[in-house]
Amino acid sequence: MDMGLCGKTALITGSTKGIGKAIAIELAKEGVNVLINGRNWNEVEQTVKEIKTQFPSTSPLPAAADIADTQQREALFENHPEIDILVNNVGTYEMMQYEYLTDEVWEKYFRTNVLAANGLCKNYLPRMLKNGFGRIVFIASEEAMMPSGLMPHYAMTKSMLLSLSKSLSKMTKGIEVTVNTIMPGPTLSENVHQIITGMFPNEGLSFSEKEMKFMESSLPQSELQRFIKPIEIGRLTTFICSPYASAFKGSPIRMDGGMVPTIF
């Protein structure tokens, strides 16, 4: 299906691996010129080459920067002043007990998961409003609605993104610009794949069997009973970025595999 995005330009933060890379690939499939972002220049360049090889009709570009750093963010704006789509995917997470969370940890998570995304929006949203078209998508988590208690600092920042998305959406009234948040559930990132692969080493299980065993023991509330694939999130994000999704405004969009037990 043609999503009507050919020729658009998209910045996807944290797009050298995992969910971000999957989003970049799915957008590139639709003819979008993707800006690949990450802190490691070599990883950014490699991802650009991969996407260019797969989709030679598009023009992926490197956008290496630590977006949590104000100066690097400003340099990014100078190099790429105009975009049509912004996917705020970058986020840091780690399981930590509440009593061990120092002010420095809280500040780090707020700066990386919230202020960096807000800084990008503050620069690009006014330009989108002026141009009459734009898409901003925040990648949050089911933790935003259903904090597990294992990552209170992370859950707090993801809840903030829901509020920020709704506030910014108010600015798009009557304009073909949308701001939305996607909330994935547990996702099969590269790190998760390695962790699951290393589990149950003496039982001769296939990866899918290990995955199911882990789900049954650790995530029994999941109705999907497998990890969400990054490509699935990439496809949903691509749709939300398309003209076909114009009616989604300020929406919290759940893709949690049934993790959240409530209707709302």
User: Do 236 and 253 contact (CB within 8 A), yes or no?
Assistant: yes
Active site residue 154: yes
DSSP 8-state assignment for residue 115: I
d(CA 202, CA 211): 15
Residue of 98, 109, 154, 244 marked active site = 154
Q: Minimal CA–CA distance to 32: which of 252, 234, 180, 253?
A: 234
Three-class DSSP category at 97: coil
Half-sphere CA count of 78, side-chain side, radius 13 A: 7
E strand map for 61-205: 61-62, 85-88, 133-139, 176-184
DSSP-derived secondary structure letter, 245: G
Please give the structure tokens belonging to residue 236: 């949903």
The set of catalytic residues is 154
